[in-house]
Structure 1
Amino acid sequence: MIFTNRYQASDLGLLLLRLGLGVMFMVHGLPKLAGGPTAWAGVGGVMAEVGLGFAPAFWGFLAAVAEFGGGLLLAAGLWFRAACFFLLITMIMATIMHLSKGDGFSGYSHALEAAFVFLGLLFVGPGRYSLDERLYGGRLR
């Protein structure tokens, strides 16, 4: 595939990254979202590790929405930076959860790696092949 400029290649790369990560986070988030209040409370219980031990079902629901809804927004490139921010926070909390359980590096590495990806994407933006670009014409860059 020959690109006429380096921006086309990087925008295609961002599209592929967004689609792959977005779908994977939707797949991870859907069972959590469908799990209901009991599952949400289990996921949200990690908030006690940072001093927010109240309403674990609420925090768990937000994490499930961040994973599923954030994955959908990520894939579409819509409200991209907000989605990356909420996914970043969710992955930081997932890392904390694994560390508090005593999991080794292989237990927390996926969440930590994803956190770094979302942090980087916050700065890079969604690229030209996104709904943000289509709807807002680069004003969100």
Structure 2
Amino acid sequence: MDNLGEYRPQALGILRIVTALLFIEHGTMKLFGFPSSGEGGGDGLSLLSLIAGILETFGGLAVLVGFMTRPVAFILSGQMAVAYWFFHFAGNSFFPVLNRGDAAILFCFVFLYLVFAGPGSWSLDEKRAGRA
């Protein structure tokens, strides 16, 4: 178990990639109706939903490949904080599991962690810095 620290960059890279893949789904559901939820798909989206869908899809893609990870993750963390406070918490239950905001909280803090930790392994940022 003492050797697990050697794999920190790879574990961080996996966290970044899996988080981005899950996040992209939220954006494509809003913008393209895929995967289908019965909502979204670009038709009749409010301006805020459109902006959220763009950030989730294209910001998620940037995080997925590790391009400008820190600034993009900072923006996405803020987006998730706003999503939680204004759409999940406001006028709903105090408890995230009841107001369906638990994913927004997790995304917020994972992205905030990426701001400080960087992209980890297998990223364009690391490749550009000559560390990959």
Q: TM-score, normalised by structure 2?
A: 0.78
CA offsets 1:91-129 (integer angstroms, 9 cap, x no match)? 112211101141432022221122111111100000242
5+ unaligned residues in a row in structure 2: which ranges?
33-40
Relative contact order (C-alpha < 8 Å, sep 6+): which is higher?
2
CA offsets 1:16-75 (integer angstroms, 9 cap, x no match)? 111111111111110112222622x1xxxxxxxxxxxxxxx1x33221111111211111
Does the 8 Å contact 1:27/1:68 carry over to 2?
A: yes
Q: TM-score, normalised by structure 1?
A: 0.73
- Say how many residue pairs are matched: 117
Does the 8 Å contact 2:16/2:114 carry over to 1?
A: no
5+ unaligned residues in a row in structure 1: which ranges?
42-56
Moved over 3 A (4+): none
User: Equivalent residue for 2:71?
Assistant: 82
Alignment of 1:30-41 (within 5 A): 30-34=28-32, 35-36=41-42, 38-39=44-45, 41=46
- How much is the aligned-residue C-alpha RMSD, in angstroms? 2.0
Identity of aligned pairs, percent? 32
- Which one-letter code corresponds to 1:122 in the other structure? V
Asked whether 1:105 is paired with 2:96, we answer: yes
